[in-house]
Amino acid sequence: MALEELFHRKCAYCEARLSEVDWQIEHFRPKGSVAERPDHPGYYWLAYKWENLYPSCVPCNQSRQDKPLWDDPVAGVTEGKADQFPVEDEALRAMSPGDDLALERPLLLDPSADDPEAAFSYTALGEIEPALGNLRAQESIRVFHLSRRRLRDQRKEQIDTLIVVLKIIRHLRQTGDPAKAAQLESGIEARFFSDSSLFAGAARFVRKDPDAFGV
C-alpha cells in the first residue's frame, strides 16, 4: 500500500515498525466524530484526502491501557488517539467543508506538515519529552500515547545500540584509525539515521549531542 511505503513501513507517529497484519489507516482529523466537540459531525469531507491519512500502529491510533510489565507491574494510563483532535481555540475549529482549516491551530503535530524532531527530546532510558515545554509536543505525546512503556523500551534498545557504536567510532578516532572510524560511521547511516530507520528521530537526537548520552 502506498501509505505504508511512503512512511517506510513505520508508524507515522511513533516510528515503530508497522505490524505485518495489524496496522491502520489513521485520519489525522477524525472523519466521524470529534472527542473534544460532541456537536461536531467529524471531518467527513477529508475522509479520502491524502494529506489527512497516515499509517498508524494500533496503540497510537486506538485508546489502549499501558499494560503492566514484569518489572513494572502497575497498570499505566489509558491513552491513544481514537477520535481526539484538540485545537487551540474551539471557536476557530472547522465544522463544515466551507470552513478554513488554516485557522484551526491544531495542538497535535502533523507528521508531514510539521517538524516533530524539533519538538521532541529523548533520554537515555528511551523516554520522550516535549522540547523546551512545547505544548503541541506535549499534547502529541499524550494523545498518541508516545510514552507507553513498551514503546519506551524499544526506543531505549535502539539508543543503547547506537551509543555502543558511537563509542567504538570515537575510540577508533582517538587511537589513530580514522579510516576505519569513517567506514563504520558511513555504515551506520542507514541503520540508525535514515528516514527508513526505526526511531530515527531519537537516534538523530543522540547524534546532535552525544556527550549528553555518555559517548
Domain ranges of the chain: 2-118+133-147, 152-213
4-26 tens-digit pLDDT: 899 999 999 999 999 876 899 99
| Cα separation, 60 vs 208, whole angstroms | 27
H or E element, residue 26: strand 23-27
| Cα separation, 131 vs 116, whole angstroms | 10
Q: Which of 45-54, 102-111, 166-175 has the lowest mean pLDDT?
A: 166-175
What percent of the chain has pLDDT above 90? Answer: 79
Q: According to the model, what pLDDT value does residue 29 have?
A: 98
How sure is the predictor about 177, in pLDDT bands with cuts at 50, 70 and 90? confident
Of the candidates 143, 161, 169, the one whose C-alpha atom is nearest the C-alpha of residue 202 is 161
Residue with the three cell numbers 497516515: 54
